[in-house]
Amino acid sequence: MNIYVLVKRTFDTEEKITVSNGKISEDGAEFIINPYDEYAIEEAIQVRDANDGEVTVITIGGEDAEKQLRTALAMGADKAVLIDTEDDLDEMDEFTSAKIIAEYLKDKEVDLILAGNVAIDGGSGQVGPRVAELLGINYVTTITNLEISGTSVKIIRDVEGDSETIETSLPLLVTAQQGLNEPRYPSLPGIMKAKKKPLEKLELDDLDLEEDDVEAKTQTIEIYLPPQKAAGRILEGDIANQVNELVNLLKNEAKVI
């Protein structure tokens, strides 16, 4: 079984985001595999072990993203592909990413593609479904359980606090939701083996793509941090006075009543 996992390099969830000159500053920042993508990697490894086959992780970015690919290899993936766009593209959006990934995969024998439900930096959840549409294959999002028998697939997916069961078939793309599994930590032997596993590096030219072919369809107008919350206010006096003051504040200051 040929299994592919879409991986994104994102800020560490503990990282304090700073904005400088209208852009998010990456100076000194720590980066990780997007947490939802870790569920996808873990599920891919489990599916491979149960059905035989090979797991290839794919990411788009610069050379810095090689670290996250090596982590995925240390977790147990077999191969990695880095599509380096650092020198070719100044701006990327979901269309750009999906177009590049689909172009890489279009001639491959794809059985299963896994991706994270969303990326914690953008949160759009668009890239996986867009890739499936471009490849013309089935897709199911926010999955919490995956059972494969031959080419038949049974899936449980999260639907706003409830769940639904879906039956479909390979080839298939799914996006992983929290609860699908418990991602493993890379072991020391896994880290050592990862150094010898193949990591292919490509550029747009290798995919016969021009910059115009993948030009972003959206434009970021402004990036800014939310305003700091004002300090809370403690009302004093007896209950009647507190209630009167609260009503007055809600009406005249907050203007919510």
Residue written as token pair 């990456």: 26
pLDDT confidence tier of residue 168, bands split at 50, 70 and 90: very high
DSSP result, 192-220: HHHTTS-EEEE-GGGGT--GGGG--S---
Rounded Cα distance between 148 and 156, Å, is 12
Identify the CA nearest to 166 among candidates 137, 186, 141: 141
Mean pLDDT of all residues in 6-31:
79
Residue 250 placed within a domain: no
Q: What's the pLDDT at 100?
A: 96
Q: What's the pLDDT at 137?
A: 97
Q: What's the pLDDT at 90?
A: 81
pLDDT greater than 80 at residue 5: yes
Q: What's the pLDDT at 99?
A: 96
Identify the CA nearest to 64 among candidates 112, 19, 27, 106: 27
The residues pairing with 19 across neighbouring beta strands, listed in sequence order, are 24
When divided into structural domains, the chain yields a total of: 1
Residue 239 placed within a domain: no
Domain with 152 in it: 2-214
Strand pairing of 31-33 and 9-11?
antiparallel
pLDDT tens for each residue of 188-231: 999 999 999 999 999 999 999 998 899 999 888 888 777 877 77
Residue 228 placed within a domain: no
Q: Do residues 9 and 61 make contact, with C-beta atoms less than 8 angstroms apart? A: yes
Residue written as token pair 């809600």: 250
Q: Do residues 2 and 53 make contact, with C-beta atoms less than 8 angstroms apart? A: yes
Residue 157 placed within a domain: yes
Residue 41 has φ and ψ, to the nearest 5°, of -65, -50
Q: What's the pLDDT at 104?
A: 97
Which two three-digit tokens encode residue 89? Answer: 């593209």
Sign of CA dihedral 167, 172, 176, 182: positive
Q: What's the pLDDT at 156?
A: 97
Residue 220 placed within a domain: no
Residue 238 placed within a domain: no
With a CB cutoff of 8 Å and minimum separation 6, the contacts of 86 are: 61, 62, 63
DSSP result, 108-129: S--SEEEEES--TTT----HHH
User: CA-CA distances (angstroms) from residue 246 to 229, 231, 250?
Assistant: 19, 16, 6
pLDDT confidence tier of residue 40, bands split at 50, 70 and 90: very high
The pTM of this model reads 0.86
Rounded Cα distance between 141 and 6, Å, is 14
pLDDT confidence tier of residue 110, bands split at 50, 70 and 90: very high
pLDDT greater than 80 at residue 17: no
Q: What's the pLDDT at 232?
A: 80
Percent of the chain with pLDDT over 70: 99
pLDDT tens for each residue of 42-73: 999 999 999 999 999 999 998 999 999 999 99
Rounded Cα distance between 12 and 229, Å, is 24
pLDDT greater than 80 at residue 154: yes
Residue 222 placed within a domain: no
Residue 21 placed within a domain: yes
Rounded Cα distance between 139 and 146, Å, is 13
Q: For residue 46, what is the domain's CATH number?
A: 3.40.50.620
